[in-house]
Structure formats: C-alpha cells, structure tokens
Amino acid sequence: MTDARVWLITGASRGLGKAFTEAALAGGDRVVAAARNVEPLTDLAGDHPGQLMPLPLDVTDRRGVFDAVERAAGAFGGLDIVVNNAGAMLYGMVEEATEEQIRAHMDVNFYGAVWVAQAVLPHLRARGGGRLLQVTSMGSGGGMATVGYYGASKAALDSVSEALAMEVEGFGIRVTIVQMGGYNTGLFTAGTTNTRPMEPYQPLREQMEAMWGDAVAPEPETAAPVIMELASLPDPPRRLIVGSQSFDHVLEMDRAQADLYRSWEHLSRIAPG
C-alpha cells in the first residue's frame, strides 16, 4: 500500500463518481469519497477498511469545502488525484427557469467546482504536484435547447479550467478537462431540477424529448478505465472526450461550426480587429 495514490472524488455516492471510486479502490489506491449523502457508500467502506473514507460534503458551501478538504488531506497523508465530479442538471427552456433555479444550478456545477479546486491546490502544491480532473460535458462546446443552463455551467468550468491549467502547471499540477459523454448516472432523475413548462415551448419540448429517445446509456463503470489510465499518464492531455460516440459527435459539431464561420467570413472580415 506504500505506492497507493490518494484520490479525492466529489459526487462519489452515485453514477460516475461511485464508478471512479470503485475503480480506484480496485487498483489498490485510497479514496476520500465526498458526497452530500454518503450513506450509499456504507457497504463499500465496509469492504475496504482503511482504504476508503466517506466524507459528507456540500460543494456549494465554500467554507465547508475548505474544511472538508483539510480532513481529506489528513485522512491518508495528502492528496494525489482530485476528481471534481459533483454536478446537477437543470432541465427546461431558458425563459422558464427562475432566478433561484439558475443560481442554485451554477452554485453546484460551477462555483462548487471552483471552491474544490481552490481548496485542494495548496495541498497539491505542497506535495510537489498532482492531478486535477475537472468533469464537464461533451456538450459544453455549444448550447442545446432544454439543457442550456447545464451546458453554460460546464462551458464556464471548461474556460476557467483552461486558465487554471496554465496557472498551476509550473507547480507540477496537471489539470485535465474531462468532457463526459452520456452515461446512465441518474443525472436526469435524482440529479435533475425541472422548470415549470410554458405552453408556447411544448412543440419544441416534445421534439427534443423525441430526439433524446429511449436508448439506454452505457453504465458509468464503462468510463472508469479511461479515468484510471488518464490519471496515470505522465503527460496527460488538457482536454479529453470520454466516450466513442461522443467523440464522433463532437467532431461532427466542430466541423459544422467551422462551416458556419466560413459561410459568414466575408462579414467577419469587414472589421479590422
């Protein structure tokens, strides 16, 4: 166990976070598994005594995050890999969402991730380096009806993570933006807040629901090998799309966006800036 790495994983009680936790434990590493409700981790902790520490954590509470990270770093003598995974979904049209819903959503998906990053950086810097994996979405490169605020929160995290990667690389800390594809995580059930539907948007809502379809998404554990390999790479990428179908879809969206820019190039070039 002397060579075991220490992970801090947020949102670890279900979905991707739990799958990553189980994979790290199976690899012989130690994990601080943080979540609002750690009860689902009870059996797993019993199966891995001395290797797993469940940690109650609400990422929207900045002071609480800093206190929890201190406990996490002390549990196993430091931190090596931090997976900023906690997140939620706000489902509905832009006009439908209330101010309270929008702010609460950003508190979890953007500010919560920032608080965790700020809290862990001194520990990683003192250790001489480490990994920070920022879990965002393959859809963060563009907006999509009904999930616009989710995409916005992940796009904001993408952007700040790019800046962060530049700022901390000199300390031996490597940041990777992990753009996840669609997995059967429960995000659209337990992790979702729904807006109150407005009648004018009903045709579009039905169209989007038909587009999402009833296809069963892959299980979260199928993504875990990617995270395990990513965490072990000596020179990790700054961005990584996780999921074969998602990879193809992102490339298709990028080509379409490039074509759109080129079709209006003549208008762009009127201005000298």
Measure the CA–CA gap between 211 and 128, rounded to whole angstroms: 47
Half-sphere exposure in the Cβ direction for 215 (13 Å, CA) = 8
Catalytic residues: 150
Q: Which residues contact 12 (CB under 8 A, 6 or more apart)?
A: 18, 20, 21, 31, 33, 34, 35, 41, 54, 85
CB 186 within 8 A of CB 222: no
Residues 156, 148: Cα–Cα separation, whole Å: 12
Element (H, E) at 35: strand 30-35
The Cα-based distances of 16 to 43, 61, 67, 76 in angstroms read 17, 22, 24, 23
Radius of gyration of the chain (CA): 19
Q: Are residues 84 and 34 in contact, defined by beta-carbon separation less than 8 angstroms? A: no
Of 32, 38, 40, whose CA–CA distance to 4 is shortest? 32
Q: Where are the beta strands (DSSP E) in 222-270?
A: 239-242
Backbone angles phi, psi at 200, to 5 degrees: -60, -25
Residue 196 CB neighbours (<10 A): 9
- How many angstroms separate the Cα of 59 from the Cα of each of 14, 34, 114, 180, 199? 15, 9, 9, 20, 35
